[in-house]
């Protein structure tokens, strides 16, 4: 999706966003039904009178992004446009507000997927915007737009532009937050299976099976202290499809699920039981299924659950 609006259609539609939210829910469910692992965003501009940035256009920031089918929030700031006329300090405040509302109100990552300025010192502005974004804990950015030829004289950025140094430095700092990527899963899995099975079949089989099982779960946690998102992927490592599934795990503390998408869930204390939706019922042999959840938590208590069981079988963790 990109920059959806539903403006001036009814007396209160500009501020309620009811119609556009219903459309986002419908389209989001359709896309996730085709590919539940596909990350989906609105590409929202985040214009809103309460931000002092543009007006109300039937697409309120919080309401639209609270759709269970949307994975991250969005804003497209162009602060030097005549209709915006924001200073650097005002733009920094706006970015901080978007990050805070994304994390604390919506409970999702914030992606500033499109922005730029013109007729000003672009490097100075970009550095200031990136500083506010990083200090607030923003999650991702992208500028508009890089061109290798026929460069747009207003917003085009091409090879050798000085502002690219600011973007590269920002990208490096953002990348460093991720830490080292996973390296053990692809090398350990093929090595252990052929070595252990033929050598010590009667002894090792009952030990290895419940540990690695016929499934692997990846639990990607985005933790903001009082709220969190978890993107969960279940891989069927068996040779036959799984038709209908139940994944059970326990949170490490008093986390509470607020919403879940691409699956259904019931919670009893720390224990969460997740079952498939009709469109996620089958996990092909060697294939995956994914779902996401948003919840409330206490600062410092989040973490990856210790164990996962799929239809009663203990899964490996990636």
CATH number of 213-317: 2.60.40.290
Q: Would you state the pLDDT for residue 181?
A: 56
Dump pLDDT digits (tens) for 25-63. 999 988 988 888 899 999 999 999 999 999 999 999 999
pTM of the model: 0.59
Give just the sign of the alpha carbon dihedral 307, 311, 315, 318.
Answer: negative
- Domain boundary assignment for the chain: 13-176, 181-209, 213-317
Q: Looking at 14-23, 98-107, 127-136, 186-195, which range is the least confident one?
A: 186-195
Encoded tokens for 106: 């919506």
Q: Pairing between strand 271-276 and 140-141?
A: unpaired
For residue 232, the SS3 value is strand
Calculate the alpha carbon distances from 192 to 116, 188, 214, 299 in Å: 51, 6, 14, 38
Which range, 69-83, 191-205, 292-306, is most confident? 69-83
- Over residues 212-236, the pLDDT tens digits come to 469 999 999 988 888 888 989 999 9
Q: What is the mean pLDDT of residues 155-182?
A: 88
Peptide bond into 145 cis (omega under 30): yes
- Quick one: CATH architecture of 13-176? Alpha-Beta Barrel (3.20)
């Amino acid at each position: 999706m990109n920059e959806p609006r539903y403006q001036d259609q009814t007396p209160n539609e500009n501020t309620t966003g009811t119609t556009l939210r219903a459309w986002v829910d419908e389209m989001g469910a359709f896309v996730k039904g085709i590919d539940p692992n596909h990350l989906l965003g609105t590409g929202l501009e985040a214009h809103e009178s309460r931000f002092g940035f543009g007006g109300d256009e039937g697409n309120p920031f919080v309401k639209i992004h609270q759709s269970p089918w949307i994975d991250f929030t969005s804003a497209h700031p162009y602060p030097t446009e005549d209709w915006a006329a924001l200073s650097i300090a005002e733009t920094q405040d706006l970015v901080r507000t978007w990050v805070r509302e994304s994390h604390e109100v919506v409970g999702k990552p914030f992606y500033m997927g499109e922005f730029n300025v013109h007729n000003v010192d672009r490097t100075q502005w970009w550095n200031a915007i990136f500083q506010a974004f990083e200090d607030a804990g923003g999650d991702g950015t992208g500028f508009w737009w890089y061109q290798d030829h026929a460069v747009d004289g207003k917003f085009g950025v091409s090879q050798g532009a000085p502002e690219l140094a600011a973007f590269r430095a920002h990208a490096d700092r953002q990348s460093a937050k991720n830490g080292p990527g996973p390296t053990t899963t692809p090398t350990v899995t093929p090595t252990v299976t052929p070595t252990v099975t033929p050598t010590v079949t009667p002894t090792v089989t009952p030990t290895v099976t419940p540990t690695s099982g016929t499934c692997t779960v990846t639990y990607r946690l985005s933790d903001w202290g009082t709220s969190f998102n978890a993107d969960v992927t279940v891989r069927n490592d068996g040779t036959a499809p799984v038709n209908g599934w139940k994944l059970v795990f326990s949170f490490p503390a008093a986390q509470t699920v607020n919403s879940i998408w691409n699956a259904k869930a019931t919670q009893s204390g720390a224990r969460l039981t997740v079952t498939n939706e009709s469109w996620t019922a089958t996990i092909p042999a060697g294939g995956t299924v994914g779902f996401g959840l948003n919840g409330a938590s206490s600062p410092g208590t989040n973490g990856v659950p210790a164990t996962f069981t799929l239809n009663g079988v203990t899964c490996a963790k990636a």
